[in-house]
């Protein structure tokens, strides 16, 4: 049974836990809480209602958001600060995604990485923007095989990451979304096999963990083909209430005209569940960092934003960084790239309504 | 095939192994064995018969035992010595449980930890007490997620631990019991899910390993809810002969009156299989280390010992240590705590019969 | 999505990849390729046709081969050189097997080990000998439990090894065979259980990975009992085209007369699939390194080579090394042991035809 160190937590509660709190400590905590309440903007707790995200008072929200690069990367280059969030706000973002790469999580140390996230979550909340925490791996979690070393993790580490996140942010409504696994893919068999049933089971296990740890954050679940394909949801949806689905419909995943294919591949999901395109974006072939499958132009930007407007789908553009691609600006004066200019205009317009 | 180092073990035997033993070595071993036989009390090999533990000559044994703290912890504080065992004997113990924490096993090193265990097994045997070796983890072995870092292990490490134990103690009847996994729990989903079928499969795999490695030691299998609940045994018992079941019915797992609930939750098992309560104990709310679910008083001690007497159930009190809780003594003069005094009386009475 | 380092590989191709290759680079590569083509003997790409191995022009090949010891071991002792391969060629070998021990793979480092393999593959190819790359573990891959530490690996490491091999050698026909896992065994339950269905699934997953990574190398699949037993293939063959099966029929696996038992245990497979005995061999009881199950004499050599000749089965003798057993020579002048002399004669005769 218990060792001295555990007595504080008393996790083995089966009846009501017996706790004593000295009055002095209570007063101290009360004052600290009041101070916190004055300086932070407390966003309304988001939840799923049908195929919509709604606030506590029943208002529907559709997001236009921006992908930060990895907080660890931004911190190392001196850009993990409030001005970065203020700039995202100026571009019209109502949602910010934090892609946490597993090796960054391991190398910085859990406690140190949590401090980074805490700062970002606070800045976003103060500016009225919600946050997606994204476990940024790419590959086959079933076999624990990945596209490249930067995406290496294990099932155990993935479960523990969400155990930590759900416990840590259980009372923080700014953290509206947990994106359970960035881009599931078997790379055409290079990483072995994973059936939808196997994937679904891993996602349902993760959702169980998140909710048992007390979190009300909305889980976001992606499908195969680097988070593009959601066709299996039609017949065999994730068995959990209150979740939303994800697609990453980069331009080269399908040839033009895109719309009917998008509907068949993932858009149909939006009729029944909330849908978030947590990565969209494009770059011209001659721009820095151009690569398959993102090469396209403003016609893609027009198509995907119109599609989202029409169907009430939220999106988050990849990526608010001058080095990762497709990038949105070219230098730390935030000079927009082509897609940067395109989405800045669109999102600023949307923010006015 | 084989490398030089393997030739000694010749494990790939499919026909009769061809072995040569020089006469001198034979004599040396014979003398050593004789010496050993003179100094150690060789306990009778225990086995399961119906719902009883019986000795080689058919005598039924019901145990009243004590939990040591981790041998690694006792050794570090200078208390892993024969006098500790002599004191347990004086308190009436006929069985001693060694809780081996996985990180202690890893950190000390397998060989060094085995030396500790060998000493404890020898002292217990000399004093006529049987031993339980307990793999002292708490959590969900299926997902390899645990209550806290001190319980971290893997399926592989667990299987290898029992492979090592079963080979090492295969000819030592003092080691009567192997408790395969201390306290299985999903912590209400915080550690994900584990069905009884999944748990049963892990336990059956462990039992296969133990027996194939030549051990006659009796496996002890626990159920969920921190080893409290055995209801699934009714419909779906472990598929293995000669095993016994475990419960840890601490007082706060259920409200008074306990007896009918105990029978429904785990006591019914004793009608068909041997049952060992490998952890029982209580402390008053104002005693050092008091925590959920152990807070109670002598009324619990009366109830649980009477229940065990009535139904032929063995038990082991947690814990013969002045720091871990609920503790049995307060200092290394072995001054009893309230539960210490209670169980010392009861066990000394029982030892007289 | 992508980070700068990934842009070069552009692995996320879903449409035709857009690639630019400067003319200078193209000319450089062309010249380099021509140079390579002139200095290396390019063997014909082998494939499976019915129960035969055939070359590109339809010629059937049956192999008489030799097991190298681990390239890492040979390199450390200064014998991983072309003269070692020339000697194998002189003994009549048409196929050479490289047993890669997982800890050697890990300790030397993947890149450094690949360089060793590249050299060996080149020497073999220049001498007209094909190569088997053998993942030389012994045990239960399902439970990740092994016969001894030198065979320790994981499912993940095994899959990654084949991912690396299949990508690295995808255009090299000298590497004719990938032996997926040397000797599957549960050691009579000491390593737990593994059903044929579970083993088959692991092998099929590995084959999927190999082929998706572009390799045409023929996978070799073994059965239980240290790669002796293939009886399950009759009712439940591996679901993959173009593979071959393996047995290691050492003399003591069965009592004389062997032939009918061999046919029932593994030989029947040769009627439908190509079969390679990737380890055969014997030593007298008084020879260095003699151990179960290899002790026998020339009568075994006669029987197994005649059996292979009669049924068109390929074989590879264990082991072209003066320390590992059963050894083929006693010193680095390549002085033959008893089995060395026996197989040298037989293979040299076969090589004349
Ligand atoms: Mg315990
Ligand atoms: Mg694992
Ligand atoms: Mg071998
Ligand atoms: Mg991404
Ligand atoms: Mg593992």
Tens digit of each residue's pLDDT (9 = 90 or more) over A159-180? 999 999 999 999 999 999 999 9
CA–CA gap between residue C130 and residue C175 (Å, rounded): 6
What's the pLDDT at A274? 98
Q: Give per-residue pLDDT as tens, A102-113.
A: 999 999 999 999
Q: Do C150 and B3 touch (CB under 8 A)?
A: yes
Q: How far is the CA of A190 from the centre of ligand 1 (A)?
A: 44
C181: left (phi over 0), alpha (psi -120 to 50) or beta: beta
For C324, which of B3, B10, B15 is closest by C-beta distance? B3
Tokens standing for residue C185? 């065994």
What's the pLDDT at B23? 52
Contacts of A303 (CB under 8 A, 6+ apart): A256, A258, A259
Peptide bond into A319 cis (omega under 30): yes
Contacts of B16 (CB under 8 A, 6+ apart): none
Length of chain A: 353
Question: Taking a contact as any Cβ pair under 8 Å apart, which residues of chain C between 279 and 318 contact chain B?
Answer: 279, 281, 285, 289-295, 318
Q: Which of B148, B153, B156, B293 to mutate to test the interface with A (most CBs of A within 10 A)?
A: B293
What's the pLDDT at B77? 97
CA–CA gap between residue A56 and residue A152 (Å, rounded): 38
CA–CA gap between residue A95 and residue A62 (Å, rounded): 10
CA–CA gap between residue A190 and residue A147 (Å, rounded): 9
Q: How many CA atoms lie within 13 A of A236 on its CB side?
A: 12
How many Cβ contacts (< 8 angstroms) between chains A and C? 88
CA–CA gap between residue C238 and residue B95 (Å, rounded): 51
Q: Which residue segment(s) compose the domain that A224 sits in? A: 47-351
Chain B residues close to A144, C-beta within 8 Å: none
Judged by a CB distance cut-off of 8 A, whether residue C348 touches chain A is: no
Q: How far is the CA of A233 from the centre of ligand 4 (A)?
A: 21
Q: How far is the CA of C106 from the centre of ligand 4 (A)?
A: 30
Is residue C126 included in any domain, yes or no?
Answer: yes
Judged by a CB distance cut-off of 8 A, whether residue A211 touches chain B is: yes
What confidence tier does B353 reach under pLDDT thresholds 50, 70, 90?
confident
CA–CA gap between residue C174 and residue A273 (Å, rounded): 53
Contacts of A264 (CB under 8 A, 6+ apart): A231
Chain B residues close to A18, C-beta within 8 Å: 285, 290, 292, 295
Task: Give the CA angle between residues C130, C134, C135 to the nearest 5°.
Answer: 160
Chain C residues close to A190, C-beta within 8 Å: 163, 209, 212-213
Q: How many CA atoms lie within 13 A of C110 on its CB side?
A: 9
DSSP run (H or E) holding A175? strand A175-179
Please say whether the beta carbons of A194 and A228 come within 8 A. Answer: no
Is residue B73 included in any domain, yes or no?
Answer: yes
Judged by a CB distance cut-off of 8 A, whether residue C140 touches chain B is: no
Closest CA to A321 of A136, A96, A115, A123: A96
Q: Which ligand is nearest to the CA of B143?
A: 2
Task: Enumerate the β-bridge partners of residue B276.
Answer: B246, B314
Q: Do B213 and C190 touch (CB under 8 A)?
A: yes
CA–CA gap between residue B242 and residue B50 (Å, rounded): 8
Checking if the pLDDT of B303 tops 70, the result is yes
CA–CA gap between residue C210 and residue C208 (Å, rounded): 6
Judged by a CB distance cut-off of 8 A, whether residue A1 touches chain B is: yes
Q: Which CATH number covers residue B92? A: 3.20.20.80
Mean pLDDT of B242-261: 98
Tell me the shortest Cα–Cα distance from B162 to chain C, in angstroms: 10
Q: How far is the CA of C165 from the centre of ligand 4 (A)?
A: 27
Q: Do C7 and A143 touch (CB under 8 A)?
A: no
Is residue B21 included in any domain, yes or no?
Answer: no
CA–CA gap between residue A228 and residue A226 (Å, rounded): 6
Q: Do C1 and A324 touch (CB under 8 A)?
A: yes
What's the pLDDT at A30? 54
Question: Taking a contact as any Cβ pair under 8 Å apart, which residues of chain B between 10 and 69 contact chain C?
Answer: 10-15, 17-18
Is residue A91 included in any domain, yes or no?
Answer: yes
Contacts of A332 (CB under 8 A, 6+ apart): A79, A322
Tell me the shortest Cα–Cα distance from A183 to chain C, in angstroms: 9
Structural domain count of chain A: 1
Closest CA to A283 of A320, A251, A247, A248: A251
Please say whether the beta carbons of A104 and A72 come within 8 A. Answer: yes
Question: Taking a contact as any Cβ pair under 8 Å apart, which residues of chain C between 151 and 170 contact chain B?
Answer: none
Distance of CA B325 to the CA centre of its chain: 18
This prediction's pTM: 0.91
Is residue C15 included in any domain, yes or no?
Answer: no
Q: Give per-residue pLDDT as tens, A134-157.
A: 999 999 999 999 999 999 999 999
Buried b / exposed e along C112-148 (16+ C-beta atoms within 10 A): ebbebbebbbbbbbbbebbbbbbbbbbbbbbbbbbbe
Checking if the pLDDT of B8 tops 60, the result is no
Q: Do A11 and B252 touch (CB under 8 A)?
A: no
Q: Which ligand is nearest to the CA of A184?
A: 4
Q: Give per-residue pLDDT as tens, B166-218.
A: 999 999 999 999 999 999 999 999 999 999 999 999 999 999 999 999 999 99
Q: How far is the CA of A172 from the centre of ligand 4 (A)?
A: 25
Chain A residues close to B250, C-beta within 8 Å: 1
Q: Locate tokens 């009477």: which residue?
A: B306
3-class DSSP state of A148: coil
Is residue B156 included in any domain, yes or no?
Answer: yes
Give this complex's ipTM: 0.90
User: What one-character-per-residue DSSP string does B256-304 give?
Assistant: SS-HHHHHHHTGGGGGTS-EEEEEE--B-TTSTT--TT-B--HHHHHHH
Q: Which ligand is nearest to the CA of C222?
A: 3
Contacts of B263 (CB under 8 A, 6+ apart): none
Name the least confident of A49-58, B340-349, C26-35, C173-182: C26-35
CA–CA gap between residue C156 and residue C162 (Å, rounded): 10
Is residue B153 included in any domain, yes or no?
Answer: yes
Percent of all residues in chain A with a pLDDT value above 70, rounded to a whole number = 88
Chain A residues close to B151, C-beta within 8 Å: none
Q: Give per-residue pLDDT as tens, A187-235.
A: 999 999 999 999 999 999 999 999 999 999 999 999 999 999 999 999 9
Q: How many CA atoms lie within 13 A of A160 on its CB side?
A: 19
| pLDDT, tens digit only, all 353 positions of chain C | 555 434 333 333 333 333 344 555 555 555 555 444 444 568 999 999 999 999 999 999 999 999 999 999 999 999 999 999 999 999 999 999 999 999 999 999 999 999 999 999 999 999 999 999 999 999 999 999 999 999 999 999 999 999 999 999 999 999 999 999 999 999 999 999 999 999 999 999 999 999 999 999 999 999 999 999 999 999 999 999 999 999 999 999 999 999 999 999 999 999 999 999 999 999 999 999 999 999 999 999 999 999 999 999 999 999 999 999 999 999 999 999 999 999 999 999 999 87
Is residue A1 included in any domain, yes or no?
Answer: no
Name the least confident of A33-42, A302-311, C74-83, C322-331: A33-42
* H-helix segments, chain C: 23-39, 71-76, 82-90, 102-108, 110-126, 155-168, 196-212, 224-227, 259-265, 298-311, 338-352
Closest CA to B210 of C191, C148, C146, C139: C191
Name the least confident of A246-255, B37-46, B306-315, B339-348: B37-46
């Amino acid at each position: 049974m218990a060792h001295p160190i555990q007595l504080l937590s008393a996790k083995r509660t089966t009846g009501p836990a017996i706790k004593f709190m000295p009055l002095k400590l209570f007063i101290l905590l009360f004052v600290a809480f009041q101070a916190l309440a004055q300086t932070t903007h407390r966003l309304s707790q988001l939840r799923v209602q049908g195929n919509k995200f709604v606030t506590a008072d029943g208002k529907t929200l559709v997001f236009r958001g921006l992908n930060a690069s990895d907080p660890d990367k931004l911190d190392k280059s001196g850009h993990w600060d409030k001005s970065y969030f203020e700039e995202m706000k100026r571009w019209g973002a109502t949602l910010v995604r934090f892609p946490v790469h597993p090796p960054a999580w391991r190398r910085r140390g859990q406690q140190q990485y949590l401090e980074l996230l805490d700062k970002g979550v606070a800045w976003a909340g103060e500016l009225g923007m919600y946050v997606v925490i994204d476990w940024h791996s790419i590959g086959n979690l079933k076999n624990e095989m990945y596209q490249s070393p930067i995406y290496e993790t294990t099932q155990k580490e993935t479960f523990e990451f969400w155990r930590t996140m759900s416990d840590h942010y259980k009372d923080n409504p700014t953290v509206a979304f947990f994106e359970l696994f960035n881009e599931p893919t078997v790379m055409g068999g290079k990483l072995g096999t994973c059936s939808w049933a196997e994937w679904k089971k891993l996602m349902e296990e993760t959702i169980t963990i998140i909710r048992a740890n007390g979190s009300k954050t909305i889980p976001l679940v992606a499908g195969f083909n680097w988070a593009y394909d959601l066709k299996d949801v039609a017949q065999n949806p994730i068995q959990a209430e209150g979740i939303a689905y994800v697609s990453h419909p980069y331009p080269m995943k399908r040839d033009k005209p895109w719309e009917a294919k998008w509907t068949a591949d993932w858009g149909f999901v939006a009729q029944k569940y909330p849908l978030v395109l947590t990565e969209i974006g494009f770059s011209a072939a001659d721009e820095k960092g151009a690569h398959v499958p993102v090469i396209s132009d403003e016609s893609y930007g027009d198509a995907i934003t119109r599609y989202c407007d029409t169907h009430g789908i939220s999106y988050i553009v990849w990526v608010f960084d001058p080095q990762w691609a497709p990038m949105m600006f070219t230098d730390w004066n935030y000079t927009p790239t082509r897609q940067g200019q395109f989405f800045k205009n669109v999102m600023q317009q949307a923010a006015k309504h």
